[in-house]
Amino acid sequence: LLERLGGHLVDTTAAARPASPALARVRDLLHEHMSANIGLDELVDSSGIDRFRLTRLFQREFGTSPHAYLVRLRLRAARRLLAAGHTPARVAAEVGFADQSHLGRWFRRAYRMTPAAYRRMCARMDAHTPD
C-alpha cells in the first residue's frame, strides 16, 4: 500500500505560505470548495490574475496546475472516506467527482487500484489490527 501511495503522500495542506496573497486565496478556495465544480474563471476572479499567468504562477508555486491540485485534494479526501467504510458512489458525490466511474478512473490512475479494492484492503487491515 505504501509503495502504491508513495508518490501521493505529500500533504498539500502543509505547503509553505505562497509568496503571493493571490495564490494563497486560490489555494484556499480550492480547499474550501473542493467538492464544488470550480472553474478557472472562478479562480481568476478570486485572484485578480489572468488565466494564463495564474496557471503558470500556481504551477511554479505548488508544482502542479490548479486542476491537478484539486484532483489530488479530492483523491486524498476519497481515500479517507473509503478507509472509513463509505461506498465509492457516496464518496464520489461527497468529494466532487461527477460519479462513481469518474472517481474510479482518477483513483486507478493515481493508485493503480479501484476505490472498492482500496476500501476492502482498509477493511481487512482494520480487521487485523488489535484493539
Using one digit for the tens of pLDDT, what is the confidence trace for 29-61? 999 999 999 999 999 999 999 999 999 999 999
How far apart are the C-alpha atoms of 41 and 54, rounded to whole Å? Answer: 10
Place of cell 469518474: 102
Instruction: Provide the Cα torsion 15, 17, 19, 20; round to 10°.
Output: 110
The amino acid occupying position 73 is: L
- pTM here is 0.82
- What is the CATH architecture of 20-128? Orthogonal Bundle (1.10)
How far apart are the C-alpha atoms of 118 and 113, rounded to whole Å? Answer: 7
